[in-house]
Amino acid sequence: MFAVLLSSIALAIDPPANLYRAKCSSCHGKNGAGKPAMKVPSLVSNEAKKMSDREIRELIATRANGEMDRNPSHTNLKKRLTKDQVEQIIVEIRKLQESQH
């Protein structure tokens, strides 16, 4: 019982997985630079930095809903991402943008 309690505590204090790396980096790159040859936009460009969190959230939702079919991989995101996870990804994108000064 004590071992179960300790493992539960350890899981509770571990930082959440980097969702950007898990869900977005395969296309947008680990640094968010995108892949122009594949028409995958940069998430650290000046244009992306000017976007509000709401605009980023809407783009993720739009692609996840399949309304923009440029990349079919986005269509499955809605099924796999909660609203909290989308917010976490936005935070991670902002950190990438800050590191790209």
Which amino acid does the sequence have at 53? D
Least confident residue range of 34-38, 66-70, 88-92: 66-70
Which amino acid does the sequence have at 56? I
Close Cβ partners of 21 (under 8 Å, ≥ 6 residues apart): 30, 92
Q: How many helices (H) and strands (E) does the chain have?
A: 7, 0
Give 13's strand partners: none
pTM of the model: 0.71
In the chain, what are the domain boundaries? 17-99
Three-class SS of residue 40?
strand
CATH number listed for the domain at residues 17-99: 1.10.760
Higher pLDDT, 30 or 68: 30
